[in-house]
């Protein structure tokens, strides 16, 4: 081993310092180490940039969410609209309840009438079996007619009470300026109420048509204006027309045409009724008025009974005309006009009833 090698080894063993070349080598390794670690600094910068982008996107998302929330708040219905919708639903619910109660009331009256008819039929059959006289037949027939008339009078009294409630609701609705939807519910209820009256009268006409024609189910003042068991459609149109103004030209023309056609139908029915009355009188007066010829008497009475059966048909036709006139008017008018028309009709009939009450309670001079 040469002296230099021996000196190098000796220096390593003794822990001597590195020479300058070793120092330079260490510096080169440090620079190389820094160069190797420099990309990490770039990666860290990129991560910070990505974090900034993410924060920006989150901020944008927050702006969009806030914007959508603002749009939803703007599109949310106001408290006034919500209250109006709630009022509409409540009005519709009350109308359905009233209609249901009225239908149940009619059904109860119908059952009672059916029971009365059955009891009268059993009594009539027992009377025929026991006595078999014509007086029993007449008594049973009169009993059935009276029962039918009494049942109709009771149903009509309930009908008038319900009409008064409907008129009160219509007046309150028109005063409060409710929506057309609420008014339409009330108008349809009023029209259905009149339809129920015509059905009641149809049943009553089969039981006792004379009771309907006489008008004894109405007040005295109403009977002054009766025509074939009810009101004259043409006269009612004359009363209602001023209450419905303003009307368009087309509406005025339609109402005038309806009034004219109603007048023609009324004239035709009135002429038919006069012809029936004249024919009936001639039949009853034909032949001898004495009761000596029983066969002749019974023959003429049978003919008179056949002709008298047409009276029920005339009452049905008159009610059909009244019903069709009301339905046609509801199609001509707007919802608000139809509501005013029903209100005017109810007030008119109510005034007639009030007039009868005042007339009955008038002071009288002592006899």
Domain range annotation of the chain: 149-360
pLDDT of residue 70: 53
Under the banding of pLDDT at 50, 70 and 90, the label for residue 225 is very high
DSSP line for 2-25: -HHHHHHHHHHHTTPPP-HHHHHH
Contact of 367 with 202, CB cutoff 8 Å: no
Residue 184 to residue 91: CA distance in whole angstroms? 11
pLDDT tier for residue 353 given thresholds of 50, 70 and 90 = very high
Contact 212, 311 (CB under 8 A): no
Region label for 206, one of left (φ > 0), alpha (ψ between -120 and 50) or beta (otherwise): alpha
Per-residue pLDDT at 118 exceeds 90: no
Helix (H, G, I), strand (E, B) or coil at 97: helix
Answer for the pair 78, 123: CB distance below 8 angstroms, yes or no: no
pLDDT for residue 157:
94
Tell me the two tokens of residue 82.
């919500």
Q: What are the residues whose beta carbons fall under 8 Å from the beta carbon of 154, sequence distance 6 or more?
A: 109
Q: Rounded to whole angstroms, how far apart are CA atoms 231 and 197?
A: 13
Mean pLDDT is highest, among 7-21, 52-66, 274-288, for: 274-288
CA 130 to each of CA 116, 133, 141, 188, 366: distance values in angstroms, whole numbers, following the listed order = 21, 9, 16, 53, 51
pLDDT at residue 71, rounded to an integer: 53
pLDDT one-digit tens code per residue, 163-183: 999 999 999 999 999 999 999
Mean pLDDT across 2-22: 44
The model's confidence at residue 259, banded by pLDDT at 50, 70 and 90, is: very high
pTM, entire model: 0.61
Residue 122 predicted with pLDDT over 80: no
Q: Which residue is listed with tokens 């039918």?
A: 148
The 10 Å Cβ neighbour count of residue 339 is 24
Residue-wise pLDDT for 22-52, tens only, equals 445 545 544 544 444 444 444 444 444 444 4
pLDDT at 272 over 70: yes
Average pLDDT value over all residues in the chain = 77
Q: Measured between alpha carbons, how far is 207 from 148 in angstroms, rounded to an integer?
A: 5
Taking the C-alpha atoms of 171, 173, 175 and 176 in order, what is their torsion angle to the nearest 10 degrees?
Answer: 160
Residue 94 confidence (pLDDT) above 70: yes
Torsion of CA 121, 123, 127, 130, to 10 degrees: 120
Gap between the Cα atoms of 212 and 208, Å rounded = 7
Tokens 């029209």 appear where? 191
Structure confidence at residue 96 (pLDDT): 79
Q: Report whether pLDDT(289) > 80.
A: no
């Amino acid at each position: 081993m040469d002296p230099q090698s021996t000196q190098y080894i000796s220096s390593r063993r003794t822990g001597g310092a590195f020479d300058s070349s070793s120092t330079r080598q260490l510096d080169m390794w440090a620079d190389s180490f820094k160069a190797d670690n420099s990309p990490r600094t770039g990666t860290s910068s990129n991560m910070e940039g990505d974090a900034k982008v993410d924060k920006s996107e989150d901020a944008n998302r927050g702006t969009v969410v806030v914007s959508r929330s603002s749009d939803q708040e703007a599109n949310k219905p106001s408290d006034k609209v919500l209250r109006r919708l709630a009022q509409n639903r409540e009005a519709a619910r009350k109308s359905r309840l009233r209609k249901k109660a009225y239908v149940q009331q009619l059904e109860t009256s119908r059952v009672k009438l059916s029971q009365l008819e059955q009891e009268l039929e059993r009594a009539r059959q027992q009377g025929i079996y026991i006595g078999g006289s014509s007086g029993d037949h007449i008594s049973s027939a009169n009993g059935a007619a009276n029962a039918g008339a009494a049942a109709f009078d009771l149903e009509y009294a309930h009908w008038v009470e319900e009409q008064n409630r409907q008129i009160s609701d219509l007046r309150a609705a028109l005063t409060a300026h409710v929506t057309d939807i609420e008014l339409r519910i009330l108008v349809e209820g009023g029209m259905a109420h009149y339809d129920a009256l015509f059905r009641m009268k149809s049943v009553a006409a089969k039981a006792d048509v004379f009771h309907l024609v006489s008008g004894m189910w109405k007040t005295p003042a109403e009977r002054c204006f009766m025509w074939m068991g009810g009101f004259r459609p043409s006269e009612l149109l004359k009363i209602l027309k001023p209450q419905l103004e303003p009307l368009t030209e087309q509406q005025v023309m339609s109402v005038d045409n309806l009034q004219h056609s109603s007048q023609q139908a009324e004239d035709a029915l009135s002429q038919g009724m006069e012809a029936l009355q004249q024919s009936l009188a001639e039949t009853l007066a034909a032949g001898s008025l004495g009761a000596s010829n029983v066969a002749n008497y019974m023959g003429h009475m049978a003919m008179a009974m056949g002709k008298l059966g047409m009276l029920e048909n005339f009452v049905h036709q008159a009610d059909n005309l009244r019903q069709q006139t009301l339905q046609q008017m509801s199609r001509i008018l707007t919802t608000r006009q139809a509501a005013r028309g029903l209100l005017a009709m109810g007030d008119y009939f109510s005034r007639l009833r009030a007039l009868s009450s005042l007339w009955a309670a008038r002071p009288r001079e002592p006899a």
